[in-house]
Amino acid sequence: MTQNNKTLPIGIFDSGIGGLTVVKEVIRQLPNEDIVYLGDTARVPYGTKSSKTVISYSQSNAQFLTSKGIKLLVIACNTASAVALQSLRWDLDIPVIGVLEPGAREAVSSTRNKIVGVIGTPSTIKSEAYKKAIENIDPDIKVYSTKCPLFVPLAEEGWLDDSISEQIANRYLQSVIREGIDTLILGCTHYPLLKNLIQKVVGNNINLVDSAQQVALEIERTLSESNLENQSNPNSKKEFYLTDISDSFISIAANFLGEEINHIQHIDISKS
């Protein structure tokens, strides 16, 4: 990488809208960085698919983003981070950051009673990736996990504060609340969109960990260690690519990011 690579964008992908929770933090913490975002909305959800399928989707997403000339790749999807991080690190010659370890680290520093809950997609929970990452840092911490498969379609649909969503959250979350957790990892990048609702259901004594902030810090650290930070770019650009464009994505994204999304394009990933 040369000095000129500093001006290249950061590539970020997710199965859909969830990765925008990471985009929002990157915009806040690293305002000079250009971003190219890929939401694989035609193939969402990833969390109910096999590891083999998610690895293959992640590889095609990474291929598309690297064809845009990025300097760093962020897998803004827990499901893909859990199963595809190693293979993408192996395949690519740029730094690759996943969302799982930053979230695990934050949970470890947040818990006081050493009882942590994790919620995620069926695939993330089955991989036990959070449990392993937490136990690696502190083997005394007890980890209780539960899958919440309906949260992703609720977030994609924009039902962020709906009574039906609340009933579903109630049903999913009772098992981890019962274990006496004081910290709950939102182990899917879609879930911070439902953060207010989840906080309401678990109560204010449980600290919710949204890894987006930690991921942005890790991006900052990695860019600075590799001398790749874009220091002066006040008119930074954001490009959004979707494998299926829906009106709900555009309106939820604009609402969530607090700005209009102008550069949004459809791509056919199988032909890219």
Binding footprint of ligand DGL on the chain (CB under 6 A): 14-15, 18, 44-47, 77-79, 121, 124, 152, 188-190
The token pair that represents 177 in the structure block: 């609340």
Q: Judge contact between 131 and 185, C-beta under 8 A.
A: no
Q: How far is the CB of 231 from ligand DGL (least distance, A)?
A: 30
Tell me the C-alpha distance between 107 and 124, whole Å: 16
Catalytic residue among 12, 70, 77, 97: 77
Q: Which is nearer to ligand DGL, 8 or 133 (CB)?
A: 133
Give CA separation, 68 vs 63, 79, 148, in Å: 9, 23, 34
Q: How many residues does the chain have?
A: 272
Q: Which is nearer to ligand DGL, 9 or 47 (CB)?
A: 47
Q: How far is the CB of 215 from ligand DGL (least distance, A)?
A: 11
Q: Which is nearer to ligand DGL, 78 or 145 (CB)?
A: 78
Quick count: other Cβ atoms within 10 Å of Cβ 163? Answer: 9
Residue nearest to ligand DGL (CB): 47
Q: Judge contact between 230 and 33, C-beta under 8 A.
A: yes
Rg (CA), the chain: 18
Q: Is 77 a catalytic residue?
A: yes
Instruction: Give me the numbers of helices (H) and strands (E) for the chain, helices first please.
Output: 11, 10
Q: How far is the CB of 125 from ligand DGL (least distance, A)?
A: 10
Q: How far is the CB of 249 from ligand DGL (least distance, A)?
A: 13
Catalytic residue among 10, 70, 107, 188: 188
Unique residue bearing structure tokens 């806040």: 28
Tell me the C-alpha distance between 143 and 176, whole Å: 9
Q: Which is nearer to ligand DGL, 150 or 177 (CB)?
A: 150
Q: Judge contact between 211 and 106, C-beta under 8 A.
A: yes
Q: Which is nearer to ligand DGL, 70 or 188 (CB)?
A: 188
Tell me the C-alpha distance between 67 and 65, whole Å: 5
Q: How far is the CB of 105 from ligand DGL (least distance, A)?
A: 17
Q: Which residues are catalytic?
A: 77, 188
